[in-house]
Amino acid sequence: MENLNALLLVAQVLLSISLIALVLLQHGKGADAGAAFGSGASATVFGAKGSGNFLTKATSIIAALFFATCLSLAYLASHREGPTSIMDSVVEPQATEQSGTILKQPENVDLPPMSEPATMGTTTSDSDLPPAN
């Protein structure tokens, strides 16, 4: 799936560059009036009228392919496997009792042992931190 995503992304970049180049190669509607007075537009590779038809068809085909890759990338992004956010990938600690008041120290973790949850009004704790206000 990742290879298809990378392939479509490369294709989209290449299509966008070629689409920009084709649009910049085409001459506007006002360029025909300049050709009538001998501006040299009739001496092009495609001829005076041939370039407009070829470039127009090529632009429409590349634009259609560009839109198809955009839709494909959007579909792949919306149907991605795995967690949708960073918070979904966080593992929550397991409780030892059904009430959930005393938490179990996870095995294979280099942390100091957890202290018992303090009750309301008691200020004694085994922590080095000052009491919360």
Residues 62-116 pLDDT 10s: 999 999 999 999 999 888 776 667 777 776 665 444 555 555 655 666 666 666 6
Question: Does the pLDDT at position 49 exceed 80?
Answer: no
| Residue 69 within a domain | yes
Name the residue among 132, 123, 121, 2 with its Cα closest to residue 73: 2
Instruction: Note the pTM of the prediction, 2 decimals.
Output: 0.49
| Residue 10 within a domain | yes
| Residue 61 within a domain | yes
| Residue 56 within a domain | yes
| Residue 68 within a domain | yes
pLDDT of residue 16: 97
| Residue 49 within a domain | yes
| Residue 17 within a domain | yes
Cα–Cα distance measured from residue 11 to residue 13, given in angstroms and rounded to the nearest whole number: 5
3-state secondary structure of 129: coil
Domain that holds residue 6: 2-27+39-78
Cα–Cα distance measured from residue 20 to residue 26, given in angstroms and rounded to the nearest whole number: 10
Domain count, the chain: 1
| Residue 19 within a domain | yes
C-alpha angle with apex 47: 33 to 52, nearest 5 degrees?
Answer: 65
Q: What is the mean pLDDT of the chain?
A: 74
